[in-house]
């Protein structure tokens, strides 16, 4: 457990050119507490009914791993049907079959987190926190576990601990853009908008073409009224990943309110909308719906949508 006194060490560095403002609001927090199928090495992320699911893609070894894979996959289906007790049972079986599997621990945490939100049971909250930490012990870069745990802590009024958690990740992984994006996300949700933007810029200094960071940068700049800069960031994100159909719609919307020279020759612009509307230009494009960045507002979450995915 990080001590609260360490929480602003990284934030102070980011704040050199940005000032904190606004009071934290837990009501804006959201979570990606969505179960994942087994992924021993890598996964394919897919937006499906608001859930973030890593699909098994090879590299399995041993009977226990195959058994864990099947139980994780079946547990995900149970979770999607809101059959949480059955999902939890399957995820516990997957963990028993392969105790080193970080995703099995994450799936348990995500399910307990969902149950805690619905039933307001302290026992579920405590067990979810333990499972998130078990996941991170096995995979210190598990992005969804960091996100889920940060939200769980914040919703209990332990926001300093949530910041310390993400700060520690960023400090341990100085070359991780994801760590800075997640820290920026929490800053955004707690009213620290300039600091969030500065952290996103840090992420882009690590990965200049990170579509997630570029979309978040566009969102923050659009919210501050800098529409031309927002459009430029969105266009760069779309150029990096043109499967973002919702982002294409956002770009088209901004193009209608900005003078043509601000965007006409910009890289990454999607096809201009036809008479059927902006979304029609994306229809039938390979990969267009594989995983779209949701429109502005928080993502895969309890409230609204957001580009943070």
Residues 125-143 pLDDT 10s: 999 999 999 999 999 999 9
Kindly indicate the confidence band of residue 90, based on its pLDDT and cuts at 50, 70 and 90: very high
- Residue 39 sits in the same domain as residue 167: yes
Helix H, strand E, coil C: the string for 130-190 is HHHHHHHHHCCCCHHHHHHHHHHHHHCCCHHHHHHHHHHHHHHCCCCHHHHHHHHHHHHHC
Does a structural domain hold residue 213?
Answer: no
127 in any annotated domain: yes
Decide if 204 is inside a domain: no
* CA distance readout (Å), 137 to 99, 128, 295: 12, 14, 33
Rounded distance between C-alpha atoms, residue 306 and residue 251, angstroms: 15
Kindly report the pTM of this predicted structure: 0.69
How does DSSP classify residue 267? T
The answer to the question of residue 114 being in a domain is yes
* Cα 76 to Cα 260: distance, rounded to the nearest angstrom: 46
What's the total number of domains in the chain? 2
* Phi, psi angle pair for 274, to nearest 5°: -100, -165
Mean pLDDT of the chain: 73
> CB-based burial of residue 86 (10 Å sphere; 0-12 exposed, 13-18 middle, 19+ buried)?
middle
Is residue 148 located within the same domain as residue 239?
A: no
In sequence order, what are the residues at sequence separation of 6 or more whose Cβ sits closer than 8 angstroms to the Cβ of residue 208? none
Residue 41: pLDDT band with limits 50, 70, 90: very low
- Domain assignment present for residue 212? The answer is no
Mean pLDDT of 231-245: 92
Q: Which domain holds residue 85?
A: 26-173
Q: Are 87 and 75 in contact (CB under 8 A)?
A: yes
Question: Looking at the domain assignment, is residue 76 inside a domain?
Answer: yes
* Average pLDDT rounded to a whole number, residues 285-305: 27
Which CATH number belongs to the domain containing residue 124 in this structure? 1.25.40.10
């Amino acid at each position: 457990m990080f001590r609260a006194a360490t929480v602003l060490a990284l934030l102070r560095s980011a704040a050199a050119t940005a000032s904190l403002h606004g009071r934290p609001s837990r009501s804006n927090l959201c979570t990606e507490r969505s179960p994942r199928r087994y992924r021993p090495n890598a996964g394919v992320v897919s937006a499906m009914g608001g859930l973030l699911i890593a699909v098994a893609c090879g590299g399995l070894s041993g009977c226990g791993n195959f058994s864990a894979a099947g139980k994780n996959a079946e547990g995900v289906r149970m979770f999607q049907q809101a059959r949480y007790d059955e999902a939890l049972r399957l995820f516990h079986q997957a963990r028993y079959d392969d105790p080193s599997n970080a995703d099995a621990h994450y799936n348990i945490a995500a399910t307990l987190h969902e149950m805690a939100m619905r039933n307001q049971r302290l026992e579920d909250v405590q067990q979810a926190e333990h499972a998130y930490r078990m996941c991170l012990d096995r995979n210190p870069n598990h992005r969804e576990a960091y996100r889920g745990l940060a939200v769980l802590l914040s919703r209990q009024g332990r926001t300093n601990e949530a910041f310390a958690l993400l700060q520690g990740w960023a400090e341990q992984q100085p070359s991780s853009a994801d760590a800075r994006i997640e820290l920026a996300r929490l800053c955004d949700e707690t009213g620290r908008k300039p600091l969030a933007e500065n952290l996103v810029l840090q992420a882009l200094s690590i990965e200049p073409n990170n579509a997630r960071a570029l979309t978040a940068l566009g969102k923050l700049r659009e919210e501050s009224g800098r529409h031309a800069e927002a459009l430029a960031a969105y266009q760069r994100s779309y150029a990096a990943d043109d499967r973002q159909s919702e982002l294409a719609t956002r770009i088209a919307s901004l193009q209608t309110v900005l003078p043509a020279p601000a965007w006409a020759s910009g890289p990454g612009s999607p096809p201009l909308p036809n008479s059927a509307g902006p979304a029609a230009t994306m229809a039938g494009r390979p990969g267009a719906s594989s995983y779209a960045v949701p429109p502005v507002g928080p993502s895969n979450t309890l409230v609204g949508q957001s580009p943070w995915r």
